[in-house]
């Protein structure tokens, strides 16, 4: 008996792991680590909020429950995006 060929992947982006240090993403065949130090929006988020990730056309990652948007380009080439989130002044 021969297995059928796998179907085309319908998900181009997924959360692979959530650790005490950050979030691991798999996007379009590449793995990315988002440390909480640089991406603080994920640190206190629930698992379901982090896992509800949408990959939109043009390489745009969107977490609707967290109101967080990232461009895939900024993960692939962080040196081109020198601005860093430092938090809000209280």
Domain range list for the chain:
13-80
User: Tokens standing for 52?
Assistant: 């509800």
DSSP 80: G
CATH architecture of 13-80: 2-Layer Sandwich (3.30)
What is d(CA 66, CA 80) in angstroms, rounded to the nearest whole number?
Answer: 25
Which pTM does this prediction carry? Answer: 0.77
Q: Could you give the 3-state DSSP secondary structure of residue 87?
A: coil
Q: Which of 70, 74, 61 is nearest to 13 (CA)?
A: 61
Tens of pLDDT, residue by residue over 13-45, are 999 999 999 999 999 899 999 999 999 999 999
DSSP 59: T
Question: What is the predicted pLDDT for the residue at 90?
Answer: 47
Report the run of H or E that residue 73 belongs to, with start and end: helix 72-76
Q: Which of 24, 6, 26 is nearest to 14 (CA)?
A: 26
């Amino acid at each position: 008996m021969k297995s059928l060929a796998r179907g085309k992947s319908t998900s181009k982006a997924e959360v692979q792991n959530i650790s005490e240090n950050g979030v691991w993403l798999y996007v379009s065949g590449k793995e990315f680590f988002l440390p909480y130090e640089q991406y603080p929006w994920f640190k206190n988020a629930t698992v379901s909020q982090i896992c509800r990730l949408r990959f939109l056309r043009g390489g745009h990652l969107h977490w609707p429950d967290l109101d967080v948007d990232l461009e895939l380009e900024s993960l692939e080439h962080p040196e081109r995006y020198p601005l860093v989130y430092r938090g809000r002044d209280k």
